[in-house]
Structure 1
Amino acid sequence: MKKHLYTLTLTSALLLGAADKAQAAGNFGVGLGLFNGSTEYKDIDTEVYVLPVLMYEGENFSISPTRAEYHVQFNSNMWASAIGALRLQGYQAEDNTTFKGMDDRDIGVDLGASVNYYSQEIGFVSVEWLTDISDQSEGNEFSAIWAFPIEGQALTITPSVFWRWQSEDLITYYYGVKQKEATATRAAYTAESASTFGGALSFDYKLTDSVILFSEISAYSLDDEVKNSPLVDNDKDFGYGASVGFIYRF
């Protein structure tokens, strides 16, 4: 199974897992989505994936497709969250000739925490820290996001922007080349830490009291520490993601 950047964007993950926290409704939802996203790695074709969507939002606990969170409320607008998340990055050596002779880079499991704020005037603001606990990258990630839901009677439009910093260990694990993996056409490479800026625009339409249609488009920058990797198409400056689907809430 190929495991490139088949993740929801940071915006999707945070909004599904936390943006409704201000309402704390407590509900369970299942659905289906089409997901598409670019990959930085060489010679990997972009594909569309049909994936199930599972989510739960309770007073103190939430689950979204790639993460689970436990919330501690400070007041009506502010809360902290303990986070467990999957990092769906990586590749297998057999994926294509770019990775021939490389060790596999596997899915990671992160633990972390966030501090979150939501108000109708300011929108949603979150700062987050994650660290790998699966003995894969052993790296860290810090991120910040601002999102502003614009709510209509049935349609909610949410523009957002985010910044993400990833440590040297994390970037080197997924984009580095070990000395033993180096060849005449693939030099050894050790990366430094990297930063990413991006934005997204999501749409949620309440078709019925139970059925929600969702879609999102996003774009993000690529740091030179990623682009300089011999595994990466260095003529790419940006990546993108897109999704569309539905959720049935019980």
Structure 2
Amino acid sequence: MYFTSRPPLIAAFTLAMTLHSAVAQAESPPKEEKNSRWGLGLGIGRETSPYRSVKTDTKILPLLTFENDYARLFGPSLDVKLPSAGLVSFTLRARYSDAGYEASDAAELQGMEKRNGGLWLGARTDLRLPLANLSAEWLGDASNRSGGQQIRLEASHRSQFGSVNVMPRLAMVWQDSSYVDYYYGIRATESRVGRAAYDGTSSINTELGLRMNISLAPKHSTSVDVSHTILGSSIKDSPLVGRSGISAVRASYLYSF
């Protein structure tokens, strides 16, 4: 079933960002601009693909970050900060995803139509507790490629060891049937001998991860993030999938100013 409220979703997100930006500009004096923080750097990542015989790619990308009292940009995510209170914070989120594949990526995908990534819009809330940081995030496919939705629940804990910041995490990610069917399903027109038609259903993935941030010098920092995601049964059962889980390693260098 496709996510049918795309225009209202985009309109609501755009309106919220516009109103929040207008209020922020009206209420903040010029000196608030000093709270803006920029960063430039380089990121490198390597992640296994869930699809059969698809090679693991290494990606090297420039990194631009920005944050002030009202917005935060980091990698493929842009957050608009909403009024928050105490230990709880709320944000609107836009994120670009490069999920998907092309038929030329592997012999097992020959005859499959291309699956595209796209823009996802939604919201996130964070609860900061002494023992753990808890977060909940909902995103909907604003590009209307899959028509899907995702919900992510995460628990993490941050520890400081001198100039090294360590944060392990555990996350559960629910993806609805539209998402799973688009990226892992096989349409009747795509079925072949040895590749039967497959209708994907909703799935829950489990992610274990560890992130380390290291301060090298004033304004200079680097980070390393390693993770492993255990795929849900509806994804693992797809004839297109050849792994029970996917692993990723990402590293970055950032100069802040």
Q: Work out whether the TM-score is over 0.5.
A: yes
* Aligned: 1:53 with 2:60: no
Q: Which one-letter code corresponds to 1:222 in the other structure?
A: L
Gapped regions of structure 1 (runs ≥ 5): 1-24
3-state SS of paired residue (1:245): strand
Q: 1:126 to 1:56 in 2, by over 3 A?
A: same
Q: Which one-letter code corresponds to 1:241 in the other structure?
A: A
Aligned length: 224
Kindly name which structure, 1 or 2, has the bigger radius of gyration based on alpha carbons: 2
What is the aligned partner in structure 2 of residue 175 from structure 1? Answer: 184
Q: Which one-letter code corresponds to 1:153 in the other structure?
A: G
What is the aligned partner in structure 2 of residue 156 from structure 1? Answer: 165
Shift of 1:105: 0.3
How many angstroms apart in 2 are the aligned matches of 1:154 and 1:26? 23
Gapped regions of structure 2 (runs ≥ 5): 1-34
Shift of 1:30: 1.3
Shift of 1:223: 1.1
Q: Which one-letter code corresponds to 2:78 in the other structure?
A: A
What is the aligned partner in structure 1 of residue 27 from structure 2? Answer: none
* Aligned: 1:93 with 2:103: yes
Deviations 1:16-67 (A, max 9, x none): xxxxxxxxx6311111122011111011122322222221121110111111
Shift of 1:118: 2.0
Aligned equivalent of 2:247, options 233, 240, 245: 240
Shift of 1:179: 0.7
3-state SS of paired residue (1:207): strand
Higher helix share: 2
* Aligned: 1:39 with 2:49: yes
How many angstroms apart in 2 are the aligned matches of 1:97 and 1:73? 50
Structure 1-normalised TM-score?
Answer: 0.86
How many angstroms apart in 2 are the aligned matches of 1:238 and 1:96? 18
4+ long deviations beyond 3 Å: none
Identity of aligned pairs, percent? Answer: 24
3-state SS of paired residue (1:94): helix
Shift of 1:167: 0.1
How many angstroms apart in 1 are the aligned matches of 2:85 and 2:214? 29
Q: Indicate the RMSD between aligned Cα atoms, in angstroms.
A: 1.5
Structure 2-normalised TM-score?
Answer: 0.83
3-state SS of paired residue (2:189): helix
